Chains A and B, each alone.
Chain A
Amino acid sequence: MKLIPCGFVLVVALAAGPAFATPPAPAPLPAWDQLSPAQRDLVIAPLRDRWNADPQVRARLFQHAQRWQQLTPEQRARMRHGMGKWEHMDPQQRETMRALFHKMRDLTPGQRTALREQWRKMTPEQRRAWVDGNRPPAD
């Protein structure tokens, strides 16, 4: 299964440090449920770090994980697509999209249309000013 080996290699590379240039071909790894606890811990390690580093973010991470659980397979596929776009965005674009998203989710459909129209007419400077004035809460 292509899925786990790449991730496993990735994490092994992380663990070994930047000098590790050419990872050896790993033994084929099974599905998640067949991994040993030690292997799972290895894969989870970055998330575990993040979780432990900051108590304030935990509720948010957890809530996002719960929401993910609710998504249908089609929605999850769309979500992955959206994550692909996110990763190609620079920080300013991400800030912009976060601000727009958090603003729009509280609007009625009519208000969203109005905002879209307004947005289309704004200059880049006006858009930056709008984002500054509409920073989302820490979520």
Chain B
Amino acid sequence: MPSANANAATAVPIVPAAPEGWPTAATAGEAAAATLEQFLSGVSARAFRFAELGLRQREDALDAVQDAMMRMLGYRERPAAEWTPLFWSILRRRIVDLQRRSAFRLRWLQPAPAHAEGDGQFDWMDDGPDPSRRQDSQEAYARMATALSALPRRQREAFSLRVLEELDVAQTAQAMGCSEGSVKTHLSRARDTLKRQLEDFR
């Protein structure tokens, strides 16, 4: 039956060295996709911490990170060098959106979701290799995170992105949607406040 119809061209079959258009021969699109997913996977834990500082609520933070990752899929064709400021810019805006929503919720509908007492405010693993060391780490972070959360939003963003995530000034400005001068201003104010509050930073 259609065996003869199905291929018009072949006379003597010659096996080519590399078959054309193999997906696993990493077409540019698929290579970009795999790397973007790797990028998102690598950044996800820090993204969660960034979101947690702004939202103080685990589920909202997870949602913000997920939203940002979903939106990043649309940018997979952009050069990989652009992904970092792009991702943080998207995540930062999602957090602002969610903050506004939760502020509305607080005001009009119901009390804020209860935070756990003390150290339980910020997500932490239940058990690690060394319990006493884990507790020190957890407490140290809780103090830092409390201080960061208390900062004005722009200062917190500048410090988180420039210092903790180590974006350069241009990337930070892009992620924050402001000038490089503004980044430096927000950053120095943040640092002054944090230094005062975290005397025991060592």
Q: Do chains A and B touch in the complex (CB under 8 A)?
A: yes
Q: A residues engaging B (CB < 8 A)?
A: 67, 70-71, 75, 78, 85, 88-90, 93, 104-106, 109, 112-113, 116-117, 120
Check B29 against A70 for contact (C-beta < 8 Å): yes
Contact of B21 among A78, A93, A109, A116 (CB under 8 A): A78
Nearest CB in chain B to that of A86: its residue: B6
Known: A70-B32, A88-B6, A116-B15. 11 other contacts (CB 8 A): A67-B29, A70-B30, A70-B33, A78-B20, A78-B21, A89-B2, A90-B1, A104-B22, A105-B22, A106-B24, A120-B13
Secondary structure at chain A's binding surface: helix, strand, loop or mixed?
helix
Nearest CB in chain A to that of B5: its residue: A88
CB neighbours of A71 from chain B (8 A):
27, 29
Least CB distance, B32 to chain A, in whole angstroms: 8
Contact of B3 among A75, A78, A93, A105 (CB under 8 A): A93
Q: Could you jot down 16 A-B contacts, CB within 8 Å?
A: A67-B29, A70-B30, A70-B32, A70-B77, A71-B27, A75-B21, A75-B27, A78-B21, A85-B6, A85-B7, A88-B6, A93-B6, A105-B24, A106-B24, A112-B19, A117-B15
Nearest CB in chain A to that of B13: its residue: A120
- Cα A100 to Cα B195 with chains together (Å): 64
- Cα A139 to Cα B57 with chains together (Å): 38
- Cα A104 to Cα B21 with chains together (Å): 12
Least CB distance, B70 to chain A, in whole angstroms: 13
Q: B residues engaging A (CB < 8 A)?
A: 1-3, 5-7, 13, 15, 18-24, 27, 29-30, 32-33, 76-77
The 6 closest A-B pairs by CB, nearest first: A70-B29, A88-B6, A105-B24, A88-B5, A89-B6, A88-B2
- Cα A93 to Cα B24 with chains together (Å): 23
- Cα A114 to Cα B59 with chains together (Å): 51
CB neighbours of B18 from chain A (8 A):
109
Least CB distance, A30 to chain B, in whole angstroms: 27
Interface centre among B13, B24, B77 (most CB of A within 10 A): B24
Least CB distance, B104 to chain A, in whole angstroms: 33
Nearest CB in chain A to that of B7: its residue: A85
Least CB distance, A107 to chain B, in whole angstroms: 8
Least CB distance, A19 to chain B, in whole angstroms: 30
Nearest CB in chain A to that of B32: its residue: A70
Least CB distance, B111 to chain A, in whole angstroms: 38
Least CB distance, B135 to chain A, in whole angstroms: 43
- Cα A78 to Cα B27 with chains together (Å): 14
